[in-house]
Structure 1
C-alpha cells in the first residue's frame, strides 16, 4: 500500500504487505522488505536496504549507506548521517560511510546515529541518544555520546542484575563485554 501523497521512484523494490504513508519518498535503487511500515514524511534512499518487518516512524530519513536488517524499529524523528564532515559547498559523496543496523534493533525517538558504525542485534538506543561508536548486541545505550547503561533481552525487556528476562525467562550471561543467551525461558514470547 502506497498512500497517494507518497512517491516511489523506480527502480525500487517493495515487499508484499508493506505500507508507505503520507508524504514519504522512496528514491531509486531502494529495497524495502515485506510487511514493513514506513510512516509519514520519511525519505528512503537512494540505494538503501530495509529488511522485513521493519517499522520506520514519522520524520525519519534513511540516506545512502544505511542498511536495516529484519525487525528494526526506528522511532519518530531519529536521525542517520552518512558523511562525517559535511559541507554545503563541497561534494562529499566519496566519503559516505555505511551504517549497519542489525536484526531486531530499536532506535528511540530523536536519537542520532553517526555514520560508519554497526548497531548490534536487539540493541536498544534510548530516545535522544547520540551513537558515535559501534554498539554491542543487546546493549542498552543512552546519553550524549551514548554509553552502555545496561542490557536488553531478545524480547525487549531491560535485564536486571540476574540477567534473566522478566518477559520470557531467557537467561543470559555477560562474557567480555557481550551478552550471551545461556538458556531459553519457558514463557511463550515470539523470537521472530
Structure 2
C-alpha cells in the first residue's frame, strides 16, 4: 500500500497494493479494496465501499451511500450525488444507495444522480447526466444519458 504523505487517510480499511495520492481525504469508516488507485484531490466519505482493482481519477468525491464493485473505472471529475432533495443543513435520515457494478466505466465529468445502479460492464459517456439506472453491458451518453448501444462480447474486457 502506498499512501502519499500529503493525503489524510483516516480509515484502516485499505487493501494491499492500493495507491492513494496527494490531497486525498478518506474518512474513518470507508472501505477501500486491494490494488486500487485513488488519484489526487479526491474525497471519500464514511459510508462508502470500494471493491478491488478500482481506479478513481482526480477530483472525484464519493459521498455516503456509494458502493463501487470490482474493476470499475471512474474518470476525472465525475460528480456523484446522494441527496434527492438537498437543502442546506437538512439531511435525510439515510442516504439512498448508489451502486456501480463490476467492470463498469464512467467517463470524465459525468454526473450520477442518487439511488441509481450503473450496471455490470456498462459505460457512461463523458459529460453524461445519469438520471436513471443503466442496464448491464449498455453504453449511455448525453444529458440526460440515453442508450447508445449494447457492448458485444468482442468489446468486453
Query: Normalising by the residue count of structure 1, what TM-score does the alignment of the two structures yield?
Result: 0.78
The 1-side partners of 2:93 and 2:132 are apart by: 21
User: What do the CA deviations read for 1:38-85 (whole angstroms, capped 9, x no partner)?
Assistant: 000000111210000000000000100000000010000001000011
Q: State the Cα distance separating 1:95 from its structure 2 match.
A: 4.9
1:1-192 aligned within 5 A:
1-10=2-11, 12-88=12-88, 90-153=89-152, 165=154
User: Which of structures 1 and 2 has the larger relative contact order (alpha carbons within 8 angstroms, sep 6+)?
Assistant: 2
C-alpha RMSD over aligned residues: 1.3
Structure 1 residue ranges (4+ consecutive) displaced by more than 4 angstroms after TM superposition: none
- Larger radius of gyration between Structure 1 and Structure 2: 1
Query: Normalising by the residue count of structure 2, what TM-score does the alignment of the two structures yield?
Result: 0.95
1:54 and 1:72 in contact (8 A); partners too: yes
Secondary structure, aligned partner of 2:135: coil
Secondary structure, aligned partner of 2:40: coil
Secondary structure, aligned partner of 1:13: coil
Q: State the Cα distance separating 1:127 from its structure 2 match.
A: 0.2
1:99 and 1:116 in contact (8 A); partners too: yes
Aligned residues: 156
Structure 2 residues not aligned, in runs of 5+: none
Structure 1 residues not aligned, in runs of 5+: 154-163, 169-190
